[in-house]
Structure 1
Amino acid sequence: MQDLMPPINTPDSAFHDGDPTTGQLGTIVTALWLNNVQSATRDVQLEIKNVLAKAGIQPDPKKTNQLAEAISQIIGSGNYASTAYVDNGLNKKIDKASISGVLGNDNSKVPSLNLLTTELGKKQPAGNYAPAGDYATNTALNDGLNKKFDKNNISQTAGPSTIHVMSQDASTKNFQPKGDYLKAGSFGFGGEAITVPVGNGYNGISQTSVVRGSGVPGSPPDSLAWGGILHLQRESGRATQIGFWKGNIGLRSQLAGVWDDDWIFAYTQANTTKDPSGFIRVSGAAIALTTNNVVQNTGLSTTNIMSQKAITDSLIGIGQAWENVTSQRKFGVTYTNTNSKPIFVSITQNSSGTTTSMDVKINGVLIARPSTAAGATRNSVYFIVPVGGSYLIDNTGTTSIEVWAEMK
């Protein structure tokens, strides 16, 4: 027959319903567990069928008492003696171990034939003797009396004496009713918590117990001591303390005689909230961001964030290249950045012998005015044009565009 099948794989080996209000999942019944159930069921069925076969009974799905009938039939056909019959017969016999070869006062033994013959040979021959009886010698009498208990040594109270005994009445009044009690020096459950010892406080407890109190070394924070502290002592120098109060759960551990610096608190409904996305958070107004809040473009949202790639792609110079557009640009003409990103513009002018200047305007705003003194020279200007922005370069003096380049 197979061994017991393993229980369902949960911490308490029990099935649990799911609870959508708390997020608690129901127990998942695995194929392994169902296969174990099927194997165990078939094994038990086979065992029962073998019992029916032993009794010559064919399984009948319409009957529910065939196993009982098979057992009764097997026992009845074996010519077995009943328990009462066997006990009655044995009670009439004398065990060989009860035949004694020595004298004694045990009424459950009988003398052997050799002992009886030997002892009868020691008796006086027939004559006029005192009536049969049990007579004690002086020595035996005195010895027996010395072993008796003096009534004066019966005490009516409890005490440390080793030669007195308590009377029935005193014992009844002093002893607890029958039950299970802790040994001396042990702490257990069944009463109120003990007050935390002074001195080392919670750091000095060395026995499994339930304690209360605060204002001592090792006291738990957040009023946990109001609910009592459970101290679990595994061995010397290693223990765990757990506190519960108004939904808050805190704990700390001791290893090699040293306690944790801080108590650790578990997240419970008392100190967390559930945000609109269904995430458990420490109590507060903040909302957790999810992957739904990660966007791939710029915008005006105050609740979404850009991905790393989106930020990188939006930087000037990423995915852009310099382009020489000298042949396509003129002074005094307004151009518009129609690209999806800002562009970087670099212009170098070549002036003749006169004084020259360039007025750089973006969206109609003058942002730069580089100039040159009289004499042939070159002058450059650099600027960024935002998406959709217009840009215009006006010039004064005799000048020409030597290089106009845009990174876009």
Structure 2
Amino acid sequence: MRLEDLLPSPEPVRFVAADGTETPAPAGHVRPSDELLVEAHRRMVLGRRFDTQATALTKQGRLAVYPSSRGQEACQIAAVLALRDDDWLFPTYRDSVALVARGLDPAEVLTLLRGDWHCGYDPAAVKVAPQCTPLATQTIHAVGLAEALRRKGEDGVVLALIGDGGTSEGDFHEALNFAAVRRAPVVFFIQNNGYAISVPLAQQTAAPALAYKGVGYGVVSEQVDGNDLLAVLSVLTTAVQHARSGRGPYLVEAHTYRMEAHTNADDATRYRDEAEVTRWAAADPLARLQTYLRHRGLIDDEAVRTAEDEAEAFAAEVRTKLNADVVADPRTLFDHVFAEPTAQLVEQRAQLVAELDAGEA
């Protein structure tokens, strides 16, 4: 493959400016359909309300921690819409909005952050890997599953979400190299929100953009305005089609911003100033999409109210489910350690059951 075929665009791909006005169509990129954009808007409204509700649940003691993705909704929703139902998604801990947009039960999504289970849903049933807390380890798992799909002759694609901080981890680079050599059908989607907790991008890399990190491994790469839903969806759709057609992996970097702190346990004012947050607020992805859709006559006040009403009802459902106390059964500690329990686990479980039975007698 020629070097020029690997290089990302010199500037991030963009269809819509920060003020919601349409810009000249980028060469080689196709604008998503109107129907898909309207659906993306609906899911973004719902996703933002879910994110706000989850943040409130941490203050009420119903969640142990919550990493907000407010400001990154264009990335989260586009990642889901670019995939088929039989494709796989490998999320990080910050990608709960993407999981909800894919149709997973919000209570099951938040189980990890509540501290009840490492994963509250069946990954095989929904084609979504467990949300990954260690940085970049999910990228290697994603490549492994993508390679399995390739060997089986299936045309499924794996999309691995990763933050900018994760690209500094060795696992990320090993995943890129293996995926390129094996021509695995995997898309690496970097949500560059400016900070790895409190470490700014300039202290992580001297590269002109994270998208260039794919070039050295022979991975086709692109960068995109991560707050422009049209651009993110267009680029990710191209990346998924590339991987599905057998041409190997694809890397996409989205330039976006984390509007809230790293988690509810973080004080973001210690490492960034309010002026920076205000500048990025003017490029809000939801407001940008709404303005664009209004200008084109694709939505109106009634459509926005309908989406917001649906989101409020969804938030109420989330509150109801999370306000219910969990009934924990100690016996389940042994259920998912190994596919076939070892002799030691069988013995330990029997001892626990005996103690529980004695206590209930």
TM-score, with length taken from structure 2: 0.15
Q: Which has the larger radius of gyration?
A: 1
**TM value normalised by structure 1:** 0.14
Structure with higher strand content: 1
